[in-house]
Chain A
Amino acid sequence: GDSVTQMEGPVTLSEEAFLTINCTYTATGYPSLFWYVQYPGEGLQLLLKATKADDKGSNKGFEATYRKETTSFHLEKGSVQVSDSAVYFCALSEVIAGRRALTFGSGTRLQVQP
């Protein structure tokens, strides 16, 4: 079945550091890929998405490129801020047997220190 693997956390960075959170996936077809963010005490929010190969999703300075050849969707940001401290989830969405299914990775906690 479908699965998503992302790097374990926590990831601890200083403010203005470069961020990469790795995400790879396995899927039977051509999924859409997402990054969700969960800030402390809040629900999940969609951060960015890409629906086909070579698409780049971007939002709030974060970006990720759908790489079909490496089945990856790594999240990057050039300069992190303390306010980016949160848990980040990589996810894929695929229609299987007529039903849409969203599969999540295990989440990566990011801690940004001032």
Chain B
Amino acid sequence: SAVISQKPSRDICQRGTSLTIQCQVDSQVTMMFWYRQQPGQSLTLIATANQGSEATYESGFVIDKFPISRPNLTFSTLTVSNMSPEDSSIYLCSVVRGLAGGTEQFFGPGTRLTVL
């Protein structure tokens, strides 16, 4: 398995501010993923972060709003910029690890963000 930690676990922020979420993995991984889970909704992929290159964003998500850093193979950050109440969600970090018989995707505990 993969041990993934996220900081903060939750936060309440004011409109117009920014929050940076950290994700730490217990071993080196090539790709890290950031997902958003809006209240009562499913998970939506925001972007894929590879070490040493620009993150790849999914349709509907842009770098100016969700800048991502990937300084090494065990760490990534996601910033939610210029927040509005619509950004209130759980943000999850995820990695894929190869296992016998295939690969498995592991998720962090999530960061619960409330924007007032």
Q: Chain A residues in contact with chain B, CB under 8 A?
A: 32, 36, 42-46, 49, 51, 89, 93, 99-102, 104-107
Contacts and interface: CB of A to CB of B under 8 A. Distances in A.
Which of B42, B48, B104 is most buried by chain A, counting CB atoms within 10 A of its CB?
B42
A89 B43 contact: yes
Q: Give the dominant DSSP class at B's interface.
A: strand
| Interface size band for B | 10 to 19
B57 interface: no
A101 B94 CA distance: 12
Interface in B58-116: 92, 96, 102, 104-110
Contacts of A106: 41-42
Contacts of A100: 96
Contacts, number: 36
A104 B33 CA distance: 14
Interface of B: 4, 33, 41-45, 48, 56, 92, 96, 102, 104-110
B73 to A, nearest CB: 18
A46 B110 CA distance: 15
Contacts of B45: 101-102
A46 B108 contact: no
A106 B44 CA distance: 10
Contact of A99 (B41, B48, B104, B105): B48
